Chain A
Amino acid sequence: MPVANAQSSVFVVDDDPEFRESVSLLLASVKLNAEVFNSAEDFVANYDQDRGGCLVSDIRMPGMSGLELQKWMADNQIKLPIILVTAHAEVPMAVEAMRAGAVDFIQKPYSPQQLLERVHQALRQDEQRRYEEREDAVTQDLLDTLTPREREIMDLLVDGDNAKEIGNRLKLSTKTVDFHRRNMLDKMRVDSLLELAQIVRPREQ
């Protein structure tokens, strides 16, 4: 099991003090960092949006419920994976949570191993997402260095047009197109169109 990024945390929201503490101990025993909150309101007030990890929250709590917390996160573009903990009688609620896009839910009673598996899965997912976001940010920085003409030619190349077609379309010589193409690839720090497509295409879709 890959150990998650040391900076990421498992945010545990539950109004049961013993349960809260036991989850944080369990996570500590597998070297995961846990941060506990006794209510959804507490989490909302104190969560720093840059913090990665995952959220383990009870559905049924006095005040703001787990489902309401899930909605708040969606509304605020917080993409932290959520594991909602449901009691036996709350399966319909869990279904609703799934529809609303909750990553996962786990039904009581569950074993500590089950909880740990779900947490690890959520952490991996978050790590992947954060990695992609970082990559996207780098790509965006590179894209920002392109001139409008280079950007225009890049978009057409990525769409599958060749230099001659582009030249005809933009009323440029093939040579000029090739010149812009070389500069563009250098700025994007790739050696080939294939590599370019890999970093650019996902975000264009």
Chain B
Amino acid sequence: MSDGDLFHVLLVEDSQLDAALVMQLLAAVRSPRFQVQHAAQLAEAVDLLSQREFDVILLDLMMPDCNGLEGLERLSTVASDLPIIVLTGVTDEGVALEALRSGAEDYLVKDEAISDSLLVRSIRYGVERKRAELEIRSLNTELEERVARRTAQLRASEERYRSVVEGQTELIVRWLPDGTHTFVNDAYCRYFGKTPEELIGKSLFPWMSSDEQREALQGRIDSLTVENPVARGEHKGIGPDGETRWQRWTERGIFDEEGNLLELQSVGQDITEQKQTEGALRRAERLASIGTMAAGIAHEINNPIAAALNAAEAAMRFKDDPDAKHLLERCLDNVVRSAHRCRLIVENVLKFSRQEPTERSLVDINSVVRDARVSALPYAEREIATIDLQLADDLPQVWINELEIEQVLTNLIDNASRSAEGPIQVTVRTARTKESVRFSVEDDGPGMSVEQRQRAFDPFYSTRQKQGGTGLGLSIAHGIVEGHGGNIEITSEVGPGTTVTVDLPIAANDAKMD
């Protein structure tokens, strides 16, 4: 290309005379300077174009090897980037226009128009215009590329989005209260191995594995209200291959203005594998805790067994001695007490390991507290403890196993009563919180160390092992409270006493909206 003020010119001209004239003309120009290459024939010009670079082409339209505009077209295909200035001997407006339309930059008539200044100006402008055009074209190209790139990105993101929507595993279905499908998503169809056409208009109830499951679902539907339109549940359904699968569903009811249930939207997942994993985990945990427990039992039961054996052995020796009747009685009494302790430990272990759900009913917690106080009183009095009750009177009923919760309370009161050697004040309170009914057992004993508090719920952890403490009381209490969906917490420091707080969830149909 030109280096600023030197133009490389290709002159395509069959007339030697005209060529000489143009070359002479251009050679005389000092600024810019022109270096001219002459081709007498079009074929030669094409050849030269392939060999070196030019800034501009001067083309005589009348060439021997082609006619008029044909030459222009051939050159502009070969050198599309180069400005072509057409030279002609005839003054023909029609040809001139045609040439310009075919891509010529300019049109000069040799005889009348060729002067050095006109030719130079034409070449210069032609080159500049062509450059500007090329620049615009390259900008356009770049712009097009950017647009294309952006488009591709958008397309990719759209594809991703689509794959998320289509590939999602959540099962989505809309259905009428009578079970009829009104909408199903791809995942739902894939899961059940049906097409939308096979499902829409048909009932979904056949997929429930049993009547109970169906009733459970019906129960969830019936519980939906305008205020509380969402219900969740897990149930066993019939999976894609007809086998029983666990599913977790969230149902949302859609109501009309009068509060009638119009339609339901359910979103579900297959949780069979999750359930299996959970089951395996629970079994593993249980095995581990059985190991711990076995060691604990062995350790705990050692003392009373050793005592019973000692006392029984002594009894064998006293039995024939008429003077040792009193000692013999003490031996037998010791055997009985020790054996009772063993029984207590075993009983607690059994309670601890039993995990079946227990019978529950709606119960007033205050009455359970009063019963527990009566049960704990004889022990408490032996420990010089007094038990005060501070009961809230506006408590909703709780859905509990009364005996178990009483056991928790008795245990907590008993622990509190024994927290110190001297007199102890035990206070049992009940209260209502936003989501629970709360009871707490407080003592003014010496409190607990951090270690004691942290280990308090561990099975067989006891600070009163030798006084018959099995270390299971709080473990069992913990298990019972958890079994009720509740929470148990110890607040204590060394010094100012201990409070154990238990929260039990308020029975669902008694929960008022606060």
Contacts and interface: CB of A to CB of B under 8 A. Distances in A.
Interface residues of B, number: 31
A117 B421 CA distance: 37
A26 B311 contact: yes
Contact of B314 (A22, A88, A109): A22
Given A16-B303, A88-B298, A88-B302, A22 B338 contact: yes
Contacts of B318: 29
B466 A112 contact: no
B360 interface: no
Contacts of A28: 314, 327
B38 interface: no
A14 B466 CA distance: 9
Interface in B310-354: 310-311, 313-318, 324, 327, 330-331, 334, 337-338, 341
B298 A112 contact: no
A16 B466 contact: yes
Contacts of B121: none
A110 B306 contact: yes
B311 A25 contact: yes
A21 B466 contact: no
A194 interface: no
A26 B314 contact: yes
Residue from A19, A22, A89 with most neighbouring chain B CB atoms (10 Å): A22
A205 interface: no
Contacts of A143: none
Interface string B405-440: 000000000000000000000000000000000000
B330 A112 contact: no
Interface in A17-60: 17-19, 21-23, 25-26, 28-30
A110 B466 CA distance: 18
B144 to A, nearest CB: 81
A108 B324 CA distance: 28
Interface string B458-487: 000001011100000000000000000000
A72 B303 CA distance: 25
B313 A108 contact: no
Given A89-B299, A112-B310, A18 B327 contact: no
A77 interface: no
A32 to B, nearest CB: 11
Given A18-B307, A25-B327, A61-B466, A113 B313 contact: yes
A21 B310 CA distance: 9
B334 A87 contact: no
Contacts of A62: 463, 466
Contacts of B317: 29-30
B466 A22 contact: no
Contacts of B298: 88
A22 B327 contact: no
A87 B302 contact: yes
18 contacts: A15-B466, A16-B465, A17-B466, A18-B334, A18-B341, A21-B307, A21-B330, A22-B306, A25-B334, A29-B316, A29-B324, A29-B327, A87-B299, A89-B299, A108-B306, A109-B306, A110-B306, A112-B313
Interface of A: 14-19, 21-23, 25-26, 28-30, 61-62, 87-89, 108-113, 115
Interface of B: 295, 298-299, 302-311, 313-318, 324, 327, 330-331, 334, 337-338, 341, 463, 465-467
Given A30-B317, A108-B306, 5 more contacts: A21-B311, A22-B338, A25-B334, A108-B303, A112-B309
